[in-house]
A and B are shown apart, each in its own frame.
Chain A
């Protein structure tokens, strides 16, 4: 009787200590970047997509390119709390990094687009973002010989169209993937790759009775393709609810990747936190606004050292610096 009680207590302790420890293989990069059969990745498509991505002529003002906000020098984001769009208008949400969007099932903070192809034209056409008439941009590109030739090489016989612009941009975005980070080297067995504090931080991060971060930030891309209301103070943005009118989605936003997290401050969908320390403190409080709070969130009661450890771990997710060459645009 006594031993069975002991066993029960031990099992209970083990379960409470680490509810969500995932096997290390779950954190390894998938062998291939996924791409739809209708738009397989080729060098010609990537080259075309890259030119389009950096080309301000895709905007109504001929002044804003995709790279204006998704700046590779700033972690493929813009370093601002919320984006600045057409006519210098300050928008309501932060520019999300495009890093590793290839691995994500939904695009945008509210997940309104299912694929990169669906998403690519959205910001170009949005009046508050690039403010471009899509028929007009097709007409403009059709009279640039360099582009006509690039489209023909990338999509033979398909011509310059909204569809091929979207497909080319998506192909380029599928090449914007994270590089090897110290965390990856540690996962592969190099015990010297990260500090003891970071190792502890990863344990707290995964542990359901500690940080519980992995309830949402899971797997190689440290996200769950899901939507959560994380209780940000003063948030009035309905978020995912505009797309899926189910109460739990009120104020919910897509879980962002944590890859290259040190390069993409400020944080959250509205950029309200400047540092990772502030973000971890937010979750340690269990969020601030409890109205419709995601039930995975609760006060964590982490010590100052444990919070510091989690931040140290997060820093190990930033990969080797990328070398990005800016293309000379077709004329």
Chain B
């Protein structure tokens, strides 16, 4: 009985954790942002979610945002590396590559 309660509690905690903090990977590929192999210019996530920005191009990319809800600068990093950002406040964040300004996406954080 005791072990069943523990398992149930554990399952609830896992479910709560999964629902509250999703993770997404956005690739930097051919000087665009891509999600699941498709160019993405707008994306909706929930507050608390994490976005991993992974450089798939053979040259360096930068990722930054100067938006009100999130200001960050991940610097420049080469092919194969990724850096992550937790978007903890709701609102809209414009995410860009400073090196290649045509790389621009809008993240709506709900």
CA distance A225 to B103 in the complex (A): 10
Q: Say yes or no: is A249 at the interface (Cβ < 8 Å to chain B).
A: yes
CB-based nearest A residue for B99: A226
Count, A-B residue pairs, CB within 8 A: 53
A52 to B: closest C-beta gap in Å:
28
CB-defined contacts of A225 to chain B, threshold 8 Å: 31, 100-102
Query: Are B98 and A248 in contact, CB atoms less than 8 angstroms apart?
Result: yes
B73 within 8 A of A: yes
Do the beta carbons of B101 and A227 come within 8 Å of each other? yes
| In the assembled complex, A105 has its CB within 8 A of some CB on chain B | yes
**Residues 62-104 of chain B: 1 if any A CB is under 8 Å from the residue's CB, otherwise 0?**
1010100000010110100000000000000000101111100
With a cutoff of 8 Å between Cβ atoms, the chain A residues found around residue B100 in the complex are 224-226
Query: CA of A240 to CA of B101 in the docked complex: distance in angstroms?
Result: 11
Chain A 206-248 residues near chain B, CB threshold 8 A: 208, 215-216, 224-228, 240, 244-248
A248–B62 touching, CB < 8 Å: yes
Total interface residues in chain A, CB < 8 Å: 24
Min CB gap B64→A, angstroms: 5
Task: Answer yes or no: B24 CB below 8 A from chain A CBs.
Answer: no
Which of A19, A111, A248 is the most central at the interface, judged by chain B CB atoms within 10 Å of its CB? A248
Kindly state the interface size class of chain B when it binds its partner. Answer: 10 to 19
Q: Are B98 and A215 in contact (CB under 8 A)?
A: no
Contact of B98 among A208, A244, A295, A296 (CB under 8 A): A244
Q: Which of A251-298 contact B (CB under 8 A)?
A: 252, 294-296
Q: Assess whether A20 is in contact with B58, with CB atoms less than 8 Å apart.
A: yes
Label chain A's interface by main secondary structure.
Answer: loop
Indicate whether A106 reaches chain B with its CB closer than 8 angstroms. yes
Contact call B101/A19, Cβ cutoff below 8 A:
no
- Provide the residues of chain B in CB contact with A249, threshold 8 Å: 98
Supposing A246-B73, A248-B76 touch, asked if A296 and B101 sit within 8 A by C-beta, the answer is: no
Smallest Cβ-Cβ distance to A244: which chain B residue:
B98
Chain A residues near B58 (CB-CB < 8 A) = 19-20, 208, 215
From B64, B73, B78, B101, A226 is in contact (CB under 8 Å) with B101
| A224 in contact with B60 (CB, 8 Å) | no
A-B contact pairs, 9 of them (CB 8 A): A208-B58, A225-B31, A225-B101, A226-B101, A228-B99, A248-B98, A248-B99, A294-B76, A295-B60
Chain B residues packing against A (C-beta within 8 Å): 31, 58-60, 62, 64, 66, 73, 75-76, 78, 96, 98-102
